[in-house]
Each structure stands twice: as C-alpha cells, then as structure tokens.
Amino acid sequence: MYKRVLIKISGEQLSGKFESGIDPELVGWLAREIKEISESGTQVVLMVGGGNFVRGAQVVGHGVKRVTGDHMGMLGTVINALALTDIFEAQGVRTRCLSNIFADQVAEKFVHRLANKHLEKGRVVIAAGGTGRPYLTTDTAAVVIALELDCEVVLKATKFDGVYDKDPADNPDAKKFETLTMQQAIENRDIKVMDKAALGLAMEHKVKVVVFDLTKKGNIKNASAGKPAGTLIS
C-alpha cells in the first residue's frame, strides 16, 4: 500500500454521463471509493482538470488571448474542485480545497506546508488551479504537485483501463501495454494518454505513473495498493 498518492482526474471524466459540467452521482461514487483508501491509511491528493469547462488553447480568438484562455481553464478547475469538495464532504470524506490560482474567497492557498499538514491529518487535498501558470496543463501540474508533496505515484485516470498501442476507441484490435518505460511512452507518438511535458518531468524525477480506469469498482483501491491496475509507466 502506498503512503501517499496523487490521483489526476480530467474534467471530461468528471462530466460522466453528461456532455459537460459535473456528474454529481459519479463524483459521489468516487468519494466513496476514495474514502475507503483514505480510511485505510493512504494519503490522497486529487488533481482536478478543467476540460469539461474550458481548455485554454480552444478558446483563443476574437481577441481572447492564450494567457486569458489558460486563466479561464484554471478557473474551470476551481469550479470542479469546489463541487468535489462539497460532494466529498457530504459523503463523509474529510477534504480541503487548495488553489494554485488566487481564489481566496473560495479556497485555501496552495502552500506546501499547509498541504502536508492536511494530508498528515488524513484529509484529502483537492488541488485546484493546476500550477497557477498559463501554457501548462493539469497533467503537468499533477507531476509537479506529486513531486512537491512526495507522492509515491501518480494515478492518472482515463476512460480506458490503461495505455494501448492505438486509440482503443477507434481500433478494436488495439493492444494494451501492462507496463511501459517512460522513454517508450514519450517516444511513441500514438500514445497520447498524458502530456509529453508531464511524462518528461516524471522521467527526469523518476515518478511512477499508473494509467487506469477510475470508474471500475475497486480499481482506485488496487492502484493505491500497488496491485495491478491499468498500465504502469516507470
């Protein structure tokens, strides 16, 4: 069992059965799954994406600059984090929302020592605002925060139960990798499951990444226990 893990959930996943926004039933279920691992002693950091609201690069135009788009994207992650915080608490999970983008009215500041203190007290830390800087993604933020908080592994949730040699959505013959080296994951252009910048940082600092299907019952528990789940990239 890992002592401390970071789980990265994209905005698209949080929207569940909907086209955009947040699926509260799915988030409630997720809270119960995470409650189990948190109560068994694994400290959990959740990095939330914001693609269910805005992706910076996609809103550029008509005068909207990339930096503004990225600010909008980061604020989208705050919207997700706020919803998650309330839904998790309603499920009895002790949670704190810490933001890397200034949002004093709605979240605590992401301060390294404060995050550590919450984790040591068994609270789930929900990290909002990515890195707080434009031109980056929440995948990169996941690796940075995992390094900053000494998480032993980044559990990257996806729609599929791991990394495939081709997009499994379009290729029924796609083959799943049980394990991959970081080098392979970076060099293979068909592998788009995680940002290359994030993987590069993970390789440099030897952070393990597990790509897995979050929605499969017991998968979060297995992945946090170091048991086979999805694809291990190390």
Which residue of 10, 43, 85, 219 would you call a contact of ligand UDP, by CB under 6 A?
Answer: 10
Identify which of residues 14 and 233 has a Cβ nearer to ligand UDP in the complex: 14
Give 49 or 162: the residue with its C-beta nearer to ligand UDP: 49
As measured in angstroms, the least distance from the Cβ of 12 to ligand UDP is 6
**For ligand UDP, the closer CB: 69 or 162:** 69
Q: Which of residues 84-103 bind ligand UDP (CB under 6 A)?
A: none
- DSSP conformation letters of the chain: --SEEEEEE-HHHHTTTSSSS--HHHHHHHHHHHHHHHHTT-EEEEEE--TTT--GGGS-BTTB-HHHHHHHHHHHHHHHHHHHHHHHHHTT--EEEEESS--TTTSEE--HHHHHHHHHTTPEEEEESTTSSTT--HHHHHHHHHHHTT-SEEEEEESSSSEESS-TTT-TT--EESEE-HHHHHH-TT--SS-HHHHHHHHHTT-EEEEEETTSTTHHHHHHTT---SEEE-
Contact between 28 and 87 under an 8 Å Cβ cutoff? The reply is: yes
| Least separation in angstroms between CB 84 and ligand UDP | 13
Which residues in the 130-149 window bind ligand UDP by CB under 6 A? 130-131, 133-134, 136-139, 141
Q: How many residues at the interface with ligand UDP, by CB under 6 A?
A: 23
Q: Does 199 bind ligand UDP (CB under 6 A)?
A: no
- Decide if residue 7 touches ligand UDP (CB under 6 A): no
Q: Is 49 in the site for ligand UDP (CB under 6 A)?
A: yes
Based on CB atoms, which residue is closest to ligand UDP, 94 or 196?
196
Footprint (CB under 6 A) of ligand UDP, residues 51-70: 51, 55-56, 69-70
Q: Which residues bind ligand UDP (CB under 6 A)?
A: 10-12, 49-51, 55-56, 69-70, 73-74, 76-77, 130-131, 133-134, 136-139, 141
